[in-house]
Structure 1
Amino acid sequence: MNLKLPSKQERHKLFGSVQPGEKLKPAIKDEMVDLQSQKNDFLFNIDSVGISNVKIPVTINSFIEPVKQGTIAAFTLTSSIPGNQKGTNMSRFIEQLEEYRLRGFTMEQEQLYQFVSDLSARLGQKNVRVEVEFPWFYERKGPSSELSGLNHATVRMTVQQDSDKNYKISGELSCAVTTLCPCSKEISEYSAHNQRGIVKISVDPTVLSEDWKEQLLYAAESNASACIHPLLKRTDEKIVTETAYENPRFVEDMVRLVAADLYEKEWINGFTVECRNEESIHLHDAIATLTYKKKIKVEQPDIKKSGWCHLVNKFSAIDFFYEIFF
């Protein structure tokens, strides 16, 4: 049976559409009332107001393949406003972001500093904060086959400009590793349960090292039982599982070992390390957190850039390293 439908106009009317009314208010911007810019005693200063979860394409430079990559970043842009100002002009945040998108926005410290400075001038506010989060991809090869695929870590960068136009930057990286349970290995006749561990490292730097993402990834992976791989053949899987068995790790072990690596880095003033194991024999997760603020400077060792993923460490019987070119 064929339906006899009313016209589209009649259908819209059926569902509540009405004819436009008389337009009496100004349509020219300069003649419109700007409520947000009104001055009065509005009781309190506001620490931050702005927009969040704004996604745009950005560029990331990396010291490991792929060395130049495009990804999608989620931005949170805020500023403070004084108690005598009603609000902020939200559109200005997007205008600033769009200008940088069109010229090519690269997720590096200096460009983020310039972005914050320009946003501060556009808003007419001194305290401005930009937070950006994005997936960062890196190539990972199988230890035997050397067949490669892409892993990714989640990276977050935050830049704050204060009223004296001083900048403060922080960095965070979250990645997946393999952890094998030391207790299970100790009490079992054979085998041991393992799980995927999520390591999150947050750093308070003097200045973000150019290869800061790679350094934090190395700190997490080199202290794990084994690395996560996108592609494994049987010969690779044998090495990975045996290496994990040779390097058991509790979540407590992970945060302490990663903290030791971070402590040795001269450009890091303080840090927080979190590890969450998605337990394979429990419904719950196991978690540990360690926060440390340096009080004295320490010597930074010469980091060798040849051995990246310590599927094997000094306790492992297997002597192999990944070739990584910075």
Structure 2
Amino acid sequence: MKDVQNLNDVRGIAIQKVGVTDVHLPFQIKTKAGALQSVLARIRLTVDLPQEYKGTHMSRFIEALFAWSQKPVSYREMEQLLGDVLQRLHAQRAGIDIHFKYFIEKTAPVTGLKSILDFDCSFAGNLVQGERLEFTLGVAVPFTSLCPCSKEISDCGAHNQRGVMRVKLRQRPGTFTWIEDLVTLLEEQASCPVYPLLKREDEKYVTERAYENPKFVEDVLRDMVLVLRGIRGVSWFEAECETFESIHNHNAYAYHSEDSQP
């Protein structure tokens, strides 16, 4: 059969990324405790396409993903997956973005009741032929903030709201951060963490803890930056903080990114 994709293209435009997106597949993520957590992943997988080729081979992306979907996703497996894709597609550069819900057990602060909270996470990998994988971990962490200004000017009470911290970070080869550890570090920068299950005693605790620990969105972001700088082996990170304001019809937002020194 005629292979139209391999026909010559004369427009002289190389495509930096071509492939498949919005692919949904089950994957397994290794937890800090050593178990495997099954997640439903939304995936984008791409390669570069030289200017002389008319198209890529879409089926080969799915073949590669299906073959690797039964294996735990980690730095090594992602590097091997992208290496496989480079060979299948005869490409020089390959990239993958995996977005998934990750569940972590949470313990209520007073009653000790256990439940699970979901976190939006992502793994991103970029591999150039002959080089090491560039791996990026992403996580979004919900939190509670209480407004310092509101507390200062009010005779009683202060407005608080739920927010979300979003972080992406890259680490040098040989260093790694567990999702669980990153979530804990970020939650500690909030006025108070978010819990999926609270009894009255727990609700009293989180309300009072937030009141005693007021923070603007800028405060939360700056504290996030300080702890991210302290993670071993981080070469780059970006951090953003957004609070869903309870007394406004808009959100408050702050962002920072930086490269770490070698």
TM class by smaller structure = over 0.9
Please state whether the residue corresponding to 1:94 is helix, strand or coil.
helix
**Residue 165 of structure 1, CA deviation:** 3.6
> Can you list the C-alpha shifts for 1:65-116, whole angstroms capped at 9, x where unaligned?
x943211011100000111111101011001111122xx1322111111100
Q: Counterpart of 1:192 in 2: which secondary structure?
A: coil
What's the secondary structure of 2:248's corresponding residue?
A: coil
In the TM superposition, residue 220 of structure 1 has moved relative to its aligned partner by: 1.3
Residue aligning to 1:213: 179
2:68 is the alignment partner of 1:96: no
Taking structure 2 as the reference length, the TM-score comes to 0.95
Q: Which residue of 1 aligns with 2:211?
A: 245
Residue 194 (structure 1) shift: 0.6
Residue in 1 that maps onto 2:24: 55
Is the partner of 1:265 in helix, strand or coil? coil
Q: Answer yes or no: is the 8 Å Cα contact 2:7–2:53 preserved in 1.
A: yes
Q: Which residue among 262, 267, 272 is the counterpart of 2:238?
A: 272
The structure with the greater share of residues assigned to strand is 2
Aligned match for 1:161, one of 127, 130, 147: 127
CA contact (8 A) 1:202 1:273 kept: yes
Show structure 2 runs of 5+ residues with no match. Answer: none
Deviations 1:124-172 (A, max 9, x none): 1121111111111000111111111110111111111114343211111
Task: Classify the secondary structure of the residue corresponding to 1:232.
Answer: coil
Change (3 A) 1:285 1:208: farther
- Would you say 1:138 and 2:107 are equivalent positions? no
Letter in 2 for 1:49: V
Residues 231 and 109 of structure 1, relative CA distance in 2, 3 Å threshold: same
Q: Write the distance in 1 (CA, Å) between the matches of 2:179 and 2:206.
A: 24
Number of the residue aligned with 1:26:
none
Kindly indicate whether residue 35 of structure 2 is the aligned counterpart of residue 86 of structure 1: no
Aligned Cα root-mean-square deviation (Å): 1.5
CA offsets, 1:224-251, max 9 Å, x none? 0111111000111111111111111111
- Following superposition, the deviation at residue 264 of structure 1 comes to 1.1
- For residues 1-326 of structure 1, the aligned pairs below 5 Å read 32-63=1-32, 67-101=35-69, 104-207=70-173, 209-296=175-262
Q: C-alpha distance in 1, partners of 2:23/2:156?
A: 50
Moved more, 163-172 or 227-236: 163-172
Partner of 1:11: none
1:33: Cα distance to partner?
A: 1.1
Q: What SS does the corresponding residue of 1:43 show, helix, strand or coil? A: coil
Structure 1, residues 180-212: CA drift from partner, whole Å, max 9, x if none?
111111111111111111100111211474443
- 2:109 maps to a residue whose letter is P
Assess, with a 3 A threshold, how the Cα gap between structure 1 residues 86 and 165 changes in structure 2: closer, same or farther. Answer: farther
Q: Distance in 1 between matches of 2:13 and 2:87?
A: 23
Paired residues of 2:32 and 2:178 also in contact (CA < 8 A):
no
Give the Cα separation in 2 of the matches to 1:147 and 1:295.
42
Aligned residues: 262
Secondary structure at the counterpart of residue 44 of structure 1: coil
- CA deviation after TM superposition for structure 1 residue 59, in Å: 1.0
After TM superposition, give the deviation of residue 276 of structure 1 in Å.
0.4
Q: In the TM superposition, what is the alpha-carbon distance from 1:292 to its structure 2 partner? A: 1.8
How far apart in 2 are the matches of 1:137 and 1:207? Answer: 26
Q: Which has the larger radius of gyration?
A: 1
Deviation of 1:54 (Å): 0.3
Change (3 A) 1:67 1:283: farther
Where in structure 1 are there 5+ consecutive unaligned residues? 1-31, 297-326
Give the stretch that moved more between structures: 260-269 or 38-47. Answer: 38-47
Tell me, in whole angstroms, the C-alpha distance in 2 between the residues paired with 1:276 and 1:236.
25
Percent identity between matched residues is 33
Partners of 2:5 and 2:17 lie apart in 1 by: 15
Contact 1:152 1:175 in 2 (8 A): no
Q: CA deviation at 1:38?
A: 1.2
3-state secondary structure, aligned to 2:214: coil
- CA offset digits 1:9-60 (Å, max 9, x no partner): xxxxxxxxxxxxxxxxxxxxxxx11111113433111101001010111111
- Distance in 2, matches of 1:247 and 1:67, equals 35
